[in-house]
Amino acid sequence: MPDQTPAEIAYAAYGAATGGLTHDGRPMPTWDQLGDRIQHAWAAAALALGMERTVPQPDYDRAWARLTGYVQQAVEDGDTIDPAALTAYMRQLRHDALTAVNEWLKRTADGGTEAAG
């Protein structure tokens, strides 16, 4: 597939070499089922094998600070945190933390280049 990122190519090669099975013999999930964290790991692995590019890291420190601030504010206000609202907020924080990584993956897939860092 011409629009594949280096990570997707590496993942597909792993699947071809293992008959579509994971390290423990289970069927491999599709690329889209992997989730951001595992896709990022495959991107880092693919790039470590010969491409001189830097992989941005997720900003989990900022996400953690925002999450703890959110909880602390609720405590100070005497509020109860709705589990569904907290889950949605945590998903947004994860998305925000991975913004730089996902933008980089898109640029890489689009043929963009970056200097080694």
User: Regarding predicted confidence, which is higher, 72 or 116?
Assistant: 72
Give residues with Cβ within 8 angstroms of 89, minimum separation 6: 67, 70
> What's the one-letter identity of residue 66?
R
Q: What is the pTM of this model?
A: 0.51
pLDDT over 90 (residue 9) = no
**Confidence at residue 28, expressed as pLDDT on a 0 to 100 scale:** 95
**Confidence at residue 117, expressed as pLDDT on a 0 to 100 scale:** 38
CA 35: distance to chain centroid?
Answer: 6
pLDDT tens, position by position, 14-60 = 999 999 999 999 999 999 899 888 988 888 888 777 654 567 788 99
pLDDT tens, position by position, 64-95 = 999 999 999 999 999 999 999 999 999 999 99
Q: What is the DSSP letter of 82?
A: P
Structure tokens at 117: 């860092």
